[in-house]
C-alpha cells in the first residue's frame, strides 16, 4: 500500500516512480542536506553525524565496502543506526569483488545478530526477495526473530517442488506473537501454492495488514474470518470468488459476516477493467476471456459495501502499469467508461475514496505545473530542512544524556 508518485522524464513524458525509487531519491536529497549541516561547524558536525547514520541506505556495492572500515574505526556511529536498507542492485562498473561484499555484509549482519540476541524487541521489520537457493537460510533466520511485527517476502523465481511448502510448514510451527503485518508475493507461482489459509489459522488472529498477490484463487471470506483485527486487505481482483456471485453485477458478499475493523481494500491486477494498454490489444484477440475477467472484476467490486465493511474508508487500485496505461490513453476506453462511472458512484455513495496507487482519487492524472523546476527543487530542500528541525526537537525531548550542541539548534528552531 506504499504510495507511488508521478514524475516527468527529461523528454517530457510522465511516468510513475515506485516506492523504492522514491525512497532512493528522498535519501539522496536527505544525505546532501545532512552533509551540508556537517560541514557548517564542529558542533553541527556532531549533530549531523547522528542524523547521517540513523538510516544506512546502500544502493551501490562500493559503498557497502567503504562503510565497514568507517564503522569499525568509529564504533559510536553505529549506535545511531535505526534502519539498514540494502537495495537490490545490478552493478555495472564496480571494482568490489564478491569476497569484499560478503565480508562487509557479514560485518553488518553480525551487528544485526547481536541486536536480535541481546535486544530481541529491536528488529521489528524485515523485507526480503527470496531466491530458491536461499530458502533454507531464510527459514533459519526467521526462526531466530520471534519479535517481528512486519514481514514482506517476495519469491523471485519458481523453486523446485516442495521448497516453498517446506518453508511454510516451518513457519506454521513457530511462535510469532508480535506479527501484525504480512505481505506475500507469489506471482511466479501458478501451482503448488502453500496453504496460506492454514497459516492464517495459526497466525492470523493478531494481523492488522494482509497483502497477498498471487494468481491461484484464495478464499477471501475465510481469510477475513481468520483475521478479525485486520484493517487493510489487498488481493487479486481478477479472482473468481464464489461469495461475490449474484445477479448482473454480482450482488453477493466478500464476507461470511460483517468485518468490524477493515478500513482499506487494495486491488491487485484489474488490467482488463478499463480497456487500455496491452490488455486492449489482448481484448481484440480474445474478447471472450476479456469479458469473463471483466465480469469477475465487476462482481468483486460490487461486493464492497458498508454492510460488509462498516468502517471502510478507501479502495485503492494498486497496479502501477494500469495507471501508466490510463495516463497514456487519457482515461479508460469508451467501452469501459460505464464501468469507471459505476465503480466511482458506488464508492461515492458510501463515502468511500476510490484511489489509485499514488493515493490520489482514481482518475487524477498528472498535469504540467507552471512553476519552474528550480523552484520545485528549492521546495524539496526546504521540506528536508523542516523535517530535520522537527527531528531535532524530538531528540531534544527524548535524549537520555545532555548534548552540548543543542543550544545552537534551539536558537535555529526558535528563529
pLDDT digits (tens, 9 = 90+) for 335-352: 999 999 999 999 999 999
- Closest listed residue to residue 146, CA positions, set 123, 125, 118, 175: 175
Give the residue from 386, 389, 385, 383 showing the smallest Cα distance to 409: 389
Is residue 229's pLDDT more than 90? yes
Q: What average pLDDT score do residues 144-163 get? A: 68
Q: How many CB atoms lie within 10 A of CB 130?
A: 19
pLDDT band at 124 (very low <50, low <70, confident <90, very high): confident
The C-alpha atoms of residue 336 and residue 355 are separated, in whole angstroms, by 18
pLDDT of residue 410: 36
Q: Pick the residue with more confidence: 25 or 157? A: 25
Most confident of 17-26, 170-179, 349-358, 387-396: 349-358
Residue 225, pLDDT above cutoff 90: yes
Torsional class of 344: left (φ above 0), alpha (ψ -120 to 50), beta (otherwise): alpha
**Residue bearing cell 500500500:** 1
Q: Which residue has the cell 491461484?
A: 216
Question: Would you say residue 235 has pLDDT above 70?
Answer: yes
Residues 344/354, Cβ–Cβ less than 8 Å: yes
**C-beta separation of 328 from 320 below 8 A:** no
Q: How many CB atoms lie within 10 A of CB 100?
A: 16
Check residue 263 and give its pLDDT.
97
Q: What is the pLDDT of residue 23?
A: 83
Average pLDDT, the chain: 79
The phi and psi torsions of 55 (rounded to 5 degrees) equal -130, 105
Return the minimum-mean-pLDDT range out of 91-95, 125-129, 168-172, 278-282: 91-95
pLDDT value of position 411 = 33
Pick from 35-44, 76-85, 133-142, 301-310: least confident: 133-142
**Tens digit of each residue's pLDDT (9 = 90 or more) over 364-388:** 888 766 555 445 556 666 666 677 6
Residue found by looking up cell 484477440 in the block = 285
pLDDT tops 60 at residue 406: no
> Once rounded to an integer, what is the mean pLDDT over residues 218-230?
96
Question: Can you count the helices (H) and strands (E) in the chain?
Answer: 14, 12
Helix (H, G, I), strand (E, B) or coil at 57: strand
Amino acid at each position: 500500500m506504499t504510495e507511488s508518485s508521478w514524475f516527468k522524464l527529461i523528454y517530457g513524458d510522465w511516468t510513475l516512480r515506485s516506492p523504492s525509487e522514491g525512497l532512493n531519491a528522498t535519501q539522496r536529497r536527505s544525505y546532501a542536506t545532512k552533509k551540508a549541516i556537517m560541514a557548517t561547524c564542529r558542533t553541527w558536525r556532531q549533530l549531523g553525524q547522528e542524523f547521517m547514520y540513523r538510516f544506512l541506505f546502500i544502493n551501490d556495492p562500493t559503498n557497502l565496502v567503504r562503510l565497514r572500515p568507517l564503522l569499525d574505526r568509529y564504533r559510536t556511529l553505529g549506535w545511531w543506526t535505526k534502519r539498514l536498507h540494502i537495495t537490490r542492485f545490478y552493478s555495472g562498473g564496480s571494482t568490489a569483488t564478491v569476497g569484499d561484499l560478503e565480508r562487509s555484509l557479514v560485518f553488518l549482519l553480525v551487528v544485526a545478530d547481536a541486536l536480535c540476541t541481546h535486544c530481541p524487541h529491536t528488529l521489528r521489520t524485515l523485507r526480503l526477495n527470496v531466491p530458491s537457493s536461499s530458502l533454507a537460510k531464510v527459514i533459519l533466520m526467521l526462526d531466530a526473530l520471534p519479535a517481528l511485527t512486519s514481514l514482506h517476502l517476495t519469491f523471485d523465481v519458481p523453486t523446485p517442488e516442495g521448497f516453498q511448502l517446506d518453508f511454510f510448514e516451518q513457519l506454521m510451527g513457530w511462535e510469532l506473537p508480535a506479527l501484525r503485518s504480512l505481505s506475500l508475493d507469489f506471482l511466479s507461482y501458478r501451482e503448488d501454492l502453500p496453504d496460506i489459509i492454514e497459516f492464517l489459522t495459526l497466525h492470523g488472529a493478531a494481523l492488522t495488514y494482509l497483502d497477498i498477490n498471487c494468481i491461484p484463487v484464495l478464499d477471501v471470506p475465510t481469510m477475513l474470518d481468520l483475521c478479525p483485527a485486520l484493517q487493510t486487505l489487498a488481493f487479486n481482483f481478477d479472482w473468481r470468488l464464489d461469495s461475490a456471485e449474484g445477479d448482473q453485477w454480482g450482488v453477493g458478499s466478500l464476507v461470511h459476516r460483517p468485518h468490524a475493523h477493515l478500513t482499506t481494500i487494495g486491488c491487485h491486477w484489474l488490467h482488463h477493467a478499463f480497456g487500455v494498454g496491452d490488455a486492449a490489444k489482448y481484448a481484440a484477440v480474445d474478447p471472450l476471456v476479456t469479458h469473463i475477467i471483466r465480469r469477475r472484476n465487476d462482481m468483486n467490486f460490487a461486493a464492497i459495501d458498508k454492510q460488509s465493511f462498516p468502517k471502510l474508508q478507501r479502495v485503492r487500485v494498486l497496479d502501477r502499469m494500469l495507471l501508466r496505461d490510463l495516463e497514456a490513453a487519457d482515461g479508460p476506453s469508451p467501452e469501459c467508461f460505464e464501468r469507471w462511472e459505476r465503480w466511482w458512484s458506488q464508492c461515492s455513495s458510501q463515502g468511500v475514496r476510490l484511489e489509485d496507487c499514488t493515493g490520489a482519487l482514481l482518475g487524477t492524472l498528472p498535469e504540467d505545473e507552471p512553476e519552474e523546476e528550480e523552484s520545485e527543487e528549492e521546495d524539496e530542500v526546504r521540506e528536508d530542512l523542516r523535517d530535520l528541525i522537527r527531528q531535532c526537537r524530538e531528540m531534544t525531548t527524548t535524549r537520555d544524556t545532555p548534548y552540548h550542541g543543542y543550544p545552537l539548534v534551539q536558537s535555529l528552531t526558535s528563529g
